Homo-oligomer: A and B are copies of this chain.
Amino acid sequence: MGASTISVRYFILNLLTQQPMSGYDVKRFLKRFSWLIGSPSFGSLYPALRALLHDGLVTVEVIPREDKPPRKIYSITETGREALQEWIRQPVAPDVPLKTFVMRLMVAGNLPHAALVEHLEQRRSQITAHQIDLRQTATAMDDGADLGQCLALGYGLAVANAELTWLDRTLVQLSSQQNGAASHLNSESVSAR
């Protein structure tokens, strides 16, 4: 039950810290990452919004439109911000899947600098361990093994390498300028390839 159950609720809540938006807007935003972590369906999105409203973590502004369902713009409340803070500061299990990691990453803005660094470092050591494990199995099986096995292994290594590179780079940038906002934290990747 837990501390790290990212039910859609907190995810939405985080989006709303940026700016007020409708359920549909939330969906649109999350679509950008659907290939990575998938995006929740309306069937879970709208009920989640209801729940947040009911708990007083968000407010709505209903904008009626003739003959169409009214747009509903949700804004986060002060209580909502507090709830989000409280949730994000919960410690995470040491070994979380990529999806969870990314999700927490998005909420990282509401996290104190030090906690963020710790989170990233935890992930780095985790990935390093898995990387070693993958490499061993990769070399130990050479030839004769199942195609699917090989593919998945190769893919896993590729992603692990990329993630480690990113973590190192980000960690460096984060320590060198732990104050001034987020100045080009992705310059390399944008131009790469």
| A92 at interface by CB-CB < 8 Å | no
| A193 at interface by CB-CB < 8 Å | yes
Contact A148 B97 (CB under 8 A): no
Q: Which of A32-40, A44-52, A59-67, A69-77 contacts B (4 or more CB under 8 A)?
A: A32-40
Contact A109-B146, Cβ < 8 Å, known A32-B133, A35-B97, A99-B38: yes
Q: Given B102, B133, B152, B184, which contacts A152 in the complex, CB threshold below 8 Å?
A: B102
Contact B37 A183 (CB under 8 A): no
Interface residue SS majority, chain A: helix
Complex: how many Å from CA A151 to CA B165? 14
Which of the listed residues A126, A137, A151, A185 has the most CB atoms from chain B within 10 Å of its own CB? A151
Q: How large is the interface on A (under 10, 10 to 19, 20 to 34, 35 or more residues)?
A: 35 or more
Q: Which of A148-193 contact B (CB under 8 A)?
A: 148-166, 170, 181-186, 189-190, 192-193
A127, chain B: closest CB distance, angstroms: 6
Copies in the complex: 2
Contact A143-B183, Cβ < 8 Å, known A108-B148, A148-B107, A161-B193: yes
Q: Given B34, B130, B142, which contacts A184 in the complex, CB threshold below 8 Å?
A: B142
A11, chain B: closest CB distance, angstroms: 11
Q: Which of A102-152 contact B (CB under 8 A)?
A: 102, 105-110, 126-127, 130, 133-135, 137-139, 142-152
Complex: how many Å from CA A152 to CA B103? 8
A168, chain B: closest CB distance, angstroms: 10
Q: Given B108, B157, B165, B184, which contacts A147 in the complex, CB threshold below 8 Å?
A: B108
| A86 at interface by CB-CB < 8 Å | no
| A83 at interface by CB-CB < 8 Å | no
Contact A32 B154 (CB under 8 A): no
